[in-house]
Amino acid sequence: MNGGVDQSMKKIDKTKLSIAFTNKELCTRSGTCIGICPTNALSIGKDFYPELDPGKCIECGLCAKTCPGGKVDFSELTQTTFGHNNVAETFDGHVQRIYVGHAGDARIRKGGAGGGVVTALLWDLLKRGVVDGCVVTRMNPERPWHGEAFIARTFEELLASQQSKYIIIPVNAVLQEIRKQKGRFAIAALPCQIHGLRKVQKEKPAFMKRIHAIIGLFCASSLEPYVAAELMQCRNIDPQDIKNFNFRGGEWPGKIRAIMKNGQIRNLHYSNFKDGAINYLTYLYSPFRCQTCVDGVSEFADISVSDAWTRDEAGNYLFQSQSKLLARTDLGVRIMEDAIAAGSLVARDVSDDKNYQTHKLHTKKKGLNAPIRVARLLHQGKAVPIYDRPVPETTKGELRAERLESFIMSLGRRRATRFPLFKFLTSCYGILFVKIRQYIKSRKYRKK
């Protein structure tokens, strides 16, 4: 020692850091703080939370300013994204045009969870030279039960990124790599990740000009990173024996399955993803921060995408293996028009059709239950994200429904209750619950 300070023991002012270092439960694990840190003092740690190297931290405060976890200012995000501060009054957010469609390339359509539209849009931008790379996700080749973000630069790499990954992935950490490279990029991201990107845009506008387009995904909830491992444990599968993991593999709407190294495909639940597994997953494996998120439609993307779950009067899906696309910005409209003109995307404009409003259940979960939950917990003195959006008017029945949902989700916070319950629900014994749910849905559509 020469009398200097041991930098690894340096005390850091936590108010200059992202929310993870003062309240982990409010961390979105978007990776924004990791990606934007000018000294690379942050890295991805256990369960994908950020970890700090105090010796590298210069306390610039940038990660705190761009953190989407503790505070989400919709007025500010609206100004940054759309150039005005007229916050949208509907759950859908600001929308210019609505489309329903699928990828024009048969290979992309076949590989996508909802017709491959996100990949089709990104490939159109890439092949026309509008961008030099696309930030997407895949299951980690070395640890297929975990996801990772990467920059795709070829058609084959984009194909490898297909399929929805509902597991937590710190996508914005890739900004760290982009800072070192030249060119322009497009990014596919979730609402919280987009909140972080728009905050970066405000703080570092010159840098964010290199992010040419943001394609947003509808999101009911991300899932804790241990969900895939527990799914396999339910079926006595050794993670070391798998080659890949699909959340929506096979015929639309897909099934959760493990692809074994010997080529065998092991389905990890009964029924299909939509009618069965997703309903259990978002209750038992939803992080607290996701339960208190009020943006389920990627309000601040250029284009937002969701499966087109629209049904006819008999309850049958009208657009199997297709997606709904909400073009929000002028750029988003141009991207859609260019992709359709080039044949990269096959889509039709349904802007005037009221059936293509946001799904009612999704609106209830994120647009009603989540704000009620935030207000209730805040009243109890508990730490929650701070929003500048008022709580919708509610009935006593809606208040009770939120409490029931919160109770069910609380069962997922402990493995002792979560694991046996999930194992039962995804076993053959859980088929009864799937059938009951399908019956209730069929009666609802017959009444229309």
pLDDT, tens digit, 9 for 90 and up, residues 288-333: 999 999 999 999 999 999 987 766 666 667 777 899 999 999 999 9
Question: H-helix or E-strand containing 63?
Answer: helix 62-66
Read off the DSSP letter of residue 210: T
User: What integer pLDDT is reported at residue 445 of this predicted model?
Assistant: 52
Q: Say how many CA atoms lie within 13 Å of 337 toward its Cβ.
A: 9
Token digits of residue 360: 């009612």
Nearest to 226 by CA among 248, 245, 204, 206: 245
Indicate the pLDDT class of residue 373, thresholds 50, 70 and 90.
Answer: very high
The answer to whether the CB of 232 falls within 8 A of the CB of 239 is: yes
Indicate the pLDDT class of residue 8, thresholds 50, 70 and 90.
Answer: low
Indicate the domain borders of the chain: 13-66, 74-224+288-356
pLDDT, tens digit, 9 for 90 and up, residues 138-166: 999 999 999 999 999 999 999 999 988 99
The topology under which CATH files domain 13-66 is Alpha-Beta Plaits (3.30.70)
Token digits of residue 405: 């949902």
Nearest to 108 by CA among 98, 97, 119, 100: 119
The answer to whether the CB of 135 falls within 8 A of the CB of 149 is: yes
Whole-angstrom distance, CA of residue 105 vs CA of residue 432: 39
User: What integer pLDDT is reported at residue 4 of this predicted model?
Assistant: 42
User: What integer pLDDT is reported at residue 11 of this predicted model?
Assistant: 86
Nearest to 245 by CA among 230, 233, 256: 256
Q: Identify the top-confidence range among 7-21, 190-204, 344-358.
A: 190-204
pLDDT, tens digit, 9 for 90 and up, residues 35-84: 999 999 999 999 999 999 999 999 999 999 999 999 999 999 999 999 99
Please count the residues of the chain: 448
Kindly tell me if the per-residue pLDDT of 7 is higher than 60. Answer: no
Q: Which residues fall within 8 angstroms of residue 46, CB to CB, at 6 or more apart?
A: none
Model pTM above 0.85 = yes
